[in-house]
Structure 1
Amino acid sequence: MLVVRPIAPQDYAALYTCAVESGHGFTSLPVDETLLQRRIARAQEAFARAHVSEPGEEGYLFVMEDTKSGEIVGVSGIEAAVGLTDSFYHYRLGKVVHHSKELDIYNAQETLTLCNDYTGVSELCTLFLREPFRKNMNGRVLSRFRMLFMAEFRQRFSPLAIAEMRGVSDENGESPFWGWLQQHFFRMDFTQADYLTGIGEKAFVAQLMPQHPVYVSLLPPEAQAVIGQVHENTRPALKMLQAEGFRCRGYVDIFDAGPTVEAEVANIKSVRESKRLPVKIGPVTESARYIVCNTRVADFRAIQARIQVHDDHVVMEARHSTALRVEDGDQVRIVSLTGEQ
């Protein structure tokens, strides 16, 4: 059985493996021992905080574990509030109009403006599922359980949530968009810049990035073509978030121009449709597949399971209640895995 739980110090080796396998452009999982150990420590602190009244510096990091083998098969995270200590940069797509009434010329131009507009919002991040386990809707579980966690502990998160989508890069990790920035403003390749950002070294962004709006039409065609586009491997994740109600509002990554999508937490489909019900342990008939989680922070657990849902309770098998660490009468939060209620 695959169970999602808070990351623990003994998961470091598995997290490092995920970082290596995630490849270029996966900023939140750089191959760096110090940073990965720091992320585990931050997560431990976040889960240990029993009373949180508003979002702060908490970074929640979860792993998906195969309970039979003990193998870690994926990782997923939530940042409670981004940009509170380290600046959180985006490019905002805008438009300016140049108009001469006398010459009868009207010219609308798209622009990119460096901004920190998403400071303080919550971020769904660090979603990576190892290739052999990309089946049986495991990817949906690893992404969507976070929405149940946010629904259960609303005070820990901002009313607005975002997710940064990996932008277009080639097999060598080179980004067409970065190529233009590198030529004119930086003296480092894309992978180095991406890595520095991932480990929190962001001062160079403010120091070297163009401070005035950039006219998109001045960029080379190959750079223009990838603005707001996602990496091929990221398309399923984007499609899943769009089904949850996330939309791009014109913000893109400053390095690879991948889109950032946003949604009000209260309007996320899985948040809206989730239910909190007590458990009855017993045989299950006429079941449907659900994502199910308990209602604890430090001892959080989530699984996919076939359960029987009634108006005032859910029925689940003992093996599932054991995995969730719940007993008869305990509360769980559920949402349909397939979209059927």
Structure 2
Amino acid sequence: MIHLKNIVKQYGNTSALKQINLEIRNGELVTLIGPSGCGKSTLLRVINRMIEPTSGEILIHGENALNLDPVKLRRSIGYVIQNAGLFPHLTVEKNVEIVTELLGWDKAKRKQRAQELLHVVGLAPEKFAHRYPKELSGGQQQRVGIARALAADPAILLMDEPFSAVDPITREQLQAELLAIQTQVKKTIVFVTHDIHEAVRLGDKVALMQEGEIVQFDTPDQILKSPKNDFVAQFLGQERELQRLSLHLVGDIIQQGHGFFDLEQVNINQEHTISIKANARNALSKLLSGVPSLLVLDDDEKPIARVSVHDFIRGAL
């Protein structure tokens, strides 16, 4: 879907991007993360040629994007930024319609698409379509920004720190909303963030950058489990094992052969229980609060295993 080959971006004697090679598959959500000034936003904007690379190739669907009209290219790629970037003089509905209007869609089709997408992002059109951006909360504005980026049904969506300007609770809600939307629309998404928790939660893959280079590109689980070098380990922080647990379910622990036991004489009413589909980090949190063990229940609420802190200590994952 997106293949960057030997991308270089020079500003005078300064190298913002150094021989970047990155392949993003169809339908993947890839997060770009790294310290300030590492080149992650520059790399994002190279993809839709808001920034022209000094050298290298940008292949989209196998076609060199450097040979395309940059305006047409940008209109074919969704783009979401901080603070949504909505037009204050346009209603919510008109903001969502703006790209499809530029593409020449007729009025009825534009309106229908806008209303469909407002439903998708959790904003009932009968309530929000005719409001103006100033009448919305920050989180609602970001939802409108996502709807606008999806309006023309682009195969690719670029997101440049879209949730960084909202409060932590709203940010978590927007992350959950994006994951829910992605299960429906399955776009190829490149998402820039400075928050490692966000990168790990959202990304199918994470690209960690340093000084214009991609230091490690892998699944969140693999990066947290096996940092490539000291820089990666330090950037991930001391809680990386706990972050890794947040990617797994209780079922992953018992699938590793830990926590099984004799089911005879088990009284669920006298046990602390947890679902097989519960987050493994939440399970450990309960255990560390003083609960000696947790009885694991399957989807039919039948006991299938018991886990304790010992299962985590001996490397259940």
TM-score norm. by structure 1 comes to 0.24
Whose Rg is larger? Answer: 2
Q: Structure 1 or 2: larger helix share?
A: 2
Q: Structure 1 or 2: larger strand share?
A: 1
